[in-house]
Amino acid sequence: MSIFLKAFDYWVSGGLLLIPIGIVSFFIWVYFLGLRKHLGVLLESPPDLGDRIKRYFEDGKSLSEINEWLSRLGGVMPEWASQTLARAVKGISVSDTFNECRLARLVHVEREMVVLSALVAAAPMLGLLGTVLGMTTTFWAVSQQSADTSNLIAGGISQALITTQLGLVSAIPGVFGLAYLRHMYGQLQTRISILEKHLSLVIQKFGMK
């Protein structure tokens, strides 16, 4: 029980600014875990999907057989490939189909990554604001001539240090998490570009417009 009391006293020493820092930290983790899961789903498909589609066409498999195989794979990119092949028969270009798929699937990811970036940037800024407020309290306490001056100084310094510490503790994992998500997103973009090029070549080679 004493551990919880110490933690509570530590939290109180940081002042009211720890509430928004805690909220920002919570949402950093919510957005990070949500984006990691979503990007993981988008990356589930085989990395050599375009090559395999090309080989199946070269082996003489029909479009319906290839679409059936793609539907069994599951995931987003096999779905995109199936839509692209089906629409290519109707004369719709690969680039148009992929642009529509990107808008439908990736805009949400990009928007949430922007929000996560803002949260990661906000955490240390809130900590810095706590530092300024704490030091302001400290300087004000020094100027007072009262018996409680030492307690006021200690409270101001505590607020300055604790808010800075927790702001950084919230932001540092977010920085590494955001770098990891950007790496995943870069992998996804590379796979999408490769698949788009392979499908363009397949459609040109096998007579679809």
Q: What pLDDT is recorded for position 64?
A: 80
Q: How confident is residue 172, by pLDDT bands cut at 50, 70 and 90?
A: very high
Could you tell me if residue 159 is inside a domain?
A: no
* Bigger pLDDT: 125 vs 56: 125
Q: What pLDDT is recorded for position 6?
A: 63
Question: Residues 6 or more apart from 7 whose CB is under 8 A from it?
Answer: none
- Domains: count for the chain: 1
Could you tell me if residue 19 is inside a domain?
A: no
Rounded Cα gap, residues 76 and 105, in angstroms? 9
Could you tell me if residue 9 is inside a domain?
A: no
- pLDDT at position 148 over 70: no
- pLDDT at position 207 over 70: no
Apex 36 CA angle, 32 and 41, nearest 5: 155
Rounded Cα gap, residues 183 and 108, in angstroms? 17
Q: What pLDDT is recorded for position 28?
A: 95
Mean pLDDT score of the chain, rounded to an integer? 81
Take residue 42 and report the two structure tokens written for it.
């988008």
Q: Is the pTM of this model over 0.85?
A: no
Q: Tens digits of per-residue pLDDT, 94-116?
A: 888 888 888 888 888 999 999 99
Contact between residue 21 and residue 168 where contact means Cβ atoms under 8 Å apart:
no
Q: How confident is residue 179, by pLDDT bands cut at 50, 70 and 90?
A: very high
Q: What pLDDT is recorded for position 19?
A: 85
- Of the candidates 157, 149, 154, which has an alpha carbon nearest to the alpha carbon of residue 133? 157
Helix (H) or strand (E) holding 94: helix 94-143
Contact between residue 15 and residue 159 where contact means Cβ atoms under 8 Å apart:
yes
Could you tell me if residue 14 is inside a domain?
A: no
Radius of gyration of the chain (CA): 27
Q: How confident is residue 192, by pLDDT bands cut at 50, 70 and 90?
A: confident
Q: How confident is residue 209, by pLDDT bands cut at 50, 70 and 90?
A: very low
Expressed as residue numbers, the domain containing 53 is 27-122+171-205
Percent of the chain with pLDDT over 90: 21
Own/partner contacts of 178-186, CB < 8 Å, gap of 24 or more, are 178/32, 178/113, 178/116, 178/117, 178/120, 180/36, 181/32, 181/35, 181/36, 181/39, 181/113, 181/116, 182/113, 184/36, 184/39, 184/40, 184/43, 185/39, 185/109, 185/113
- pLDDT at position 1 over 60: no
DSSP 8-state code for residue 45? S
Could you tell me if residue 185 is inside a domain?
A: yes
Q: Tens digits of per-residue pLDDT, 2-56?
A: 666 665 565 666 677 788 888 999 999 999 999 999 998 888 878 788 888 888 8
Could you tell me if residue 96 is inside a domain?
A: yes
Overall size of the chain counted in residues: 209
Give Dmax (Cα) for the chain.
Answer: 93
- pLDDT at position 205 over 60: yes
Contact between residue 134 and residue 158 where contact means Cβ atoms under 8 Å apart:
yes
